[in-house]
């Protein structure tokens, strides 16, 4: 059904539902499955402007990277338990834009992601990542809404 599945995870309470949905659609055929977690640029480590010592002075970035890595590793483990082979990666940037770009680079045939219930103020302040992905993706986007 889908040749390449991009699974966007963020460690929210909805993440297990997103993984379960992705494993259900990945059972059809032999798709390439990529589990992706975005890291905000302000928390990204190892960019070309930092010196190795800078990381020690910015523990919040190290914690963010470690957390994102754990989220991806946990998703990969859950998919493996469901019999799905997947690869994981971290991407840096604004979540919506970066997920759309990652999906294009992987030639994804579907993006599977969650949807957080934001307050009206939250939508104004941050915007909806899922709405941005749906509006700009080159492929279908499957949005899990259960588990909010």
Q: Look over the chain and give the mean of its residue pLDDT values, rounded to a whole number.
A: 86
53 domain residue, yes or no = no
83 domain residue, yes or no = yes
20 domain residue, yes or no = yes
pLDDT tier, 111 (very low <50, low <70, confident <90, very high otherwise): very high
Give the model confidence (pLDDT) of 17-43 as tens digits.
Answer: 999 999 999 998 899 999 999 988 876
> Rounded to an integer, what distance in angstroms lies between the CA atom of residue 80 and that of residue 124?
38
Residue with tokens 């680079």: 105
Asked if residue 79 lies in contact with residue 35, where contact means CB atoms within 8 angstroms, the answer is yes
How many domains is the chain built from?
1
61 domain residue, yes or no = no
34 pairs with which residues across the strands?
Answer: 6, 87
The CATH number of the domain holding residue 120 is 3.40.50.620
Instruction: Classify each residue of 25-50 as buried b or exposed e, where b means 16 or more C-beta atoms within 10 Å of its C-beta.
Output: bbeeeebbbbbbbbbeeebbbeeeee
58 domain residue, yes or no = no
59 domain residue, yes or no = no
Domain residues for 33? Answer: 4-41+68-144
16 domain residue, yes or no = yes
60 domain residue, yes or no = no
27 to each of 32, 79, 84, how far by Cα in Å?
Answer: 11, 11, 7
pTM: 0.85
């Amino acid at each position: 059904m889908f040749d390449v599945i991009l699974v966007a995870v963020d460690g929210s309470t909805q993440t297990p539902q997103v993984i379960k949905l992705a494993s259900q659609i990945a059972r059809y055929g032999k798709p390439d499955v990529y589990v992706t977690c975005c890291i905000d640029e302000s928390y990204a480590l190892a960019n070309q402007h930092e010196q190795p010592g800078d990381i020690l002075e910015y523990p919040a970035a190290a914690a963010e990277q470690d957390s994102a890595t754990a989220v991806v590793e946990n998703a990969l483990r859950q998919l493996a338990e469901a019999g799905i082979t997947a690869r994981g990666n971290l991407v840096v940037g604004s979540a919506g834009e970066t997920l759309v770009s990652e999906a294009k680079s992987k030639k994804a045939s579907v993006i599977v992601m969650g949807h957080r219930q934001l307050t009206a103020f939250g939508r104004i302040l941050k915007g909806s990542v899922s709405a941005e992905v749906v509006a700009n993706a080159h492929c279908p986007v499957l949005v899990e809404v259960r588990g909010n």
